[in-house]
Amino acid sequence: MAIVGSFAFEEDFLGAAKTLKASGFDKLSLLSPIPVEEAYEVIGLDKSRVRHFSLAGAIFGAIAGFALAVGTALVFILPTGGRAIISVPPYLIITYEMTILFGVLFTLLGFHFVSGLPAWRDRPYLDSAGIDRFVIVVEGVAADQATRAEAIFRDAGADEIQQVEDGQ
């Protein structure tokens, strides 16, 4: 079972989240219409792993870009006015562009991997979380703990509390 509580004010929402966390409810999702930095701290988010993807993508792109330019020149040799076949200055431009291209693509991949999206299955959600409400979803709540979780919501000032099925 999941308990969903909705709050009109940010500090009530954060207060409830901290209390729930301290009371041993670990499967918390904190939903908000805008990014809330303090919510990151409550659920222990610090530096995102996305940055590793960005770095890996940029390094891969740099190597791939240079290899593409050099490999192309070697596969089909075009001697031009005695100039070098492997001409580093222009190939660095290709390297630069590919660094950025793969940096961006890997960052996108990192976003999906770290955020767990896309997730098109049904999960506990209130439409108002996309408008002006701060919502806490506590999943995996046993029947005997539901009353305690609801009490925490009520004490913190929730204006709506629902019991729903856990996400599929």
Partner 1 sequence: MFDHGQPSYAEVNKDIISTMLETGPKYWMLLGGTMSVAGIFFFMPWIYQLFVGVGAAGMNHNAVWGSYLSNFIFWIGLSHSGTLLSAVLHITNSPWRKAVYRSAEAMTLFSLMTAALFVMVHVGRVWFVHWSFPIPNQMGLWPNFRSPLMFDVMAITTYLTASSIFIYMGSVPDFAAVRDASTGLRRRLYTIFSFGWRGTAREWHTLGWAYTFFAVFVIPLAVSVHSIVSWDFALSAVPGFHHTIFAPYFVCGAIYSGTAGIVTVMYCLRKFLGFSRYIGQVHLDSLGKLLIALSMIWTYINIVELFTTWYGGTSYELEALSFRLTGFYAPMYWEMILFCAFVPLLMLSKKIRWSWNKMLVVSILINIGMLTERFIIVATSQPRKFLPDSFGFYVPSWIEISITFGSFAIFATLFLIFIKWVPAISLYEVKETLKPLRRDA
Nearest CB to partner 1, comparing residues 97 and 165: 97
Of the residues 1, 10, 145, 164, which one makes contact with partner 1 according to CB under 8 A = 10
Cα dist from 105 to 46, 47, 49, 100, 137, whole Å: 23, 20, 15, 9, 32
Distance CA 135, CA 31 (A): 5
Cβ contacts of 135 within 8 Å, gap of 6 or more: 4, 5, 6, 7, 13, 30, 31, 32, 125, 126, 128, 129
Read off the tokens for 46: 């610090």
Nearest CB to partner 1, comparing residues 38 and 151: 38
Site for partner 1 in 63-122 (CB under 8 A): 65, 68-69, 72-73, 75-76, 78, 80, 83, 87, 90-91, 93-94, 96-98, 100-101, 103-105, 107-108, 110-112, 114-121
String marking each residue 46-65 x if it binds partner 1 according to CB under 8 A: -xx-xx--x----------x
Residue 123 interacting with partner 1 (CB under 8 A): yes
Cis peptide before 90 (omega within 30 of 0): no
Amino acid sitting at position 30: L
Using CB under 8 A as the criterion, which residues of the chain lie in contact with partner 1 when the complex forms? 8-12, 29-36, 39-40, 42-43, 45, 47-48, 50-51, 54, 65, 68-69, 72-73, 75-76, 78, 80, 83, 87, 90-91, 93-94, 96-98, 100-101, 103-105, 107-108, 110-112, 114-121, 123, 125, 127, 129-132, 134
